[in-house]
Structure 1
């Protein structure tokens, strides 16, 4: 039996993350390797990263989230990977659980981690985020991101899957305009993904799918219990769906 301590590579993809990156890099000092793959940031992100001597900076042009994550995977020298976004933070309990998980005898190939969504400095309890979980910790020899997905990446796992108990804190919403811009970009990427799959841009979908998204998250997923914060998040998520179909119609008509 191999009792050698497993080493962990923490991977981060960035673009103009000067607001978050320093706190994150200070937060993940338990890693054996830290790699930041930056999409040629124009703010202070690069200089902040370079100030950390234990962090490897690689710049790579951004095409989509999946290809950027797979590129980052190929740079890591260790089998065990922890992907962290710049606006995420790990609690001490989660760090300890991660180290224990990758060194246990009956370890899984990949682990889901639940996320706590922060609206500025307060927690969002509902609005569809209460069950948000994502693959963040996995063995790269058994996992790869599905190249057909351009955003909201899907990890293909060859092996067993488990879920960690402790959660990542996700500081996704810092301002209305910042989050709206993020949702706009997600919509553009999703439109291109759907276009490549041959999805038709029906006008009814442009009208009804955003409305359905808002009502589902605000009512069925209890967004109304988050008050005005829930209304804003549900609206912006619906806005992203609207941009998706608007852009899909534009792409499709330009190719005719």
Structure 2
């Protein structure tokens, strides 16, 4: 952790995490030289993540239960010592080029209160250049006095009250998924939560949208957004993205129209124990 040089606005880097043993050391090392404070916001790690953080040193740890991304990050921001914050997920890396650009922004004229940062995405270790991911961006560098996450899902985004928002040129490296087990763990959470938000807002499933969402989404990403240029990786990402769009709607249908499975063990008409027939069971 560094002290801000004279003329540079100090920066708190916040890392939300849970069970990130394989990521946390490299993540912290990627931004350590530009951080005046490192705040690790943990939501229940049990894999040794926090011990690694303590071994690294120079970090402050805060802990709380996770509800969803926006809620958790808004809570973590309240604990930052500085107005300027940079949010970095544990599976992301601040490249040297991005670090220099952030340092220059905080040392230069006060032109904006928040900055969009584009991401350089990887899928199971392979760089994704197209497939709709080429325009992936997040508002991660901002004044916490002006910014707050808005939205009740894991894809909540920051809103800057002053409207003064800029854009950084260099990208944040993002290692999205290393296995299908990890993918489907988040897939289930994201689709379930979005369906619950829609259901609470009174939204109803639409048959035609469910019917056409997979082919239209796939063709848009694979053809128009050039997913075919990403080869095997692009084929998988475009297919999974289309299925993701479908499953949000399918889970909404489940909430509005799905019937619960009967539980005969709690019914007053539960049948008695099965009776054996010695004659029929004889060898």
TM-score (norm: length of structure 1): 0.91
Question: 1:207 aligned to 2:211?
Answer: yes
Q: Displacement of 1:247 after TM fit? A: 2.1
1:54-88 CA deviation, whole Å, 9 max, x = no partner? 11111211111110111111111110010011111
Please tell me whether the aligned partners of residues 183 and 239 of structure 1 are also in contact (alpha carbons under 8 angstroms). Answer: no
How many angstroms apart in 2 are the aligned matches of 1:112 and 1:78? Answer: 19
**Per-residue displacement from partner, 1:103-134 (whole Å, max 9, x unpaired)?**
21233111011111112333111000111111
Task: Say whether residues 1:123 and 2:127 are aligned partners.
Answer: yes
1:59 aligns with 2:63: yes
Name the residue aligned to 1:79: 83
SS of the residue 1:141 aligns to = coil
- Range with bigger deviation, 201-210 or 83-92: 201-210
Q: Which residue of 1 aligns with 2:50?
A: 46
Q: Secondary structure at the match of 1:63?
A: coil
Distance 1:21 1:112, change over 3 A: same
Compute the displacement of 1:255 (Å): 11
Q: Aligned Cα RMSD in Å?
A: 2.0
Structure-2 separation of matches of 1:59 and 1:129: 32
The answer to whether the 8 A contact 2:85-2:142 is kept is yes
Q: Which residue of 1 aligns with 2:22?
A: 19
Q: After alignment, is 13-22 or 81-90 more displaced?
A: 13-22
Report the equivalent of 1:133. Answer: 137
Instruction: Kindly indicate whether the alpha-carbon contact (under 8 Å) linking 1:184 and 1:240 is maintained by their aligned counterparts in 2.
Output: no
Q: Which runs of 5 or more residues in structure 2 are unaligned?
A: 1-5, 261-283
How many residues align? The count is 253
- CA distance in 2 between partners of 1:253 and 1:59 (Å): 38
In the other structure, the counterpart of 1:168 is 172
- Equivalent residue number for residue 158 of structure 2: 155
SS in 2 for 1:166: coil
Distance 1:211 1:34 in 2: 44
Unaligned runs of 5+ in 1: none
User: Are the aligned partners of 1:38 and 1:59 in contact in 2 as well (CA < 8 Å)?
Assistant: yes
Residue 249 (structure 2) aligned to one of 245, 249, 252: 245
CA distance in 2, matches of 1:96, 1:23: 18
Aligned match for 2:11, one of 2, 8, 13: 8
State the shift of 1:254 in Å. 7.0
Q: Distance in 2 between matches of 1:53 and 1:255?
A: 52
CA deviations 1:123-168 (Å, max 9, x no partner) are 111000111111110011111111x331211211123111111111
* CA distance in structure 1 between the partners assigned to 2:109 and 2:229 by the alignment: 42
Equivalent residues of 2:126, 2:233 under 8 A apart: no
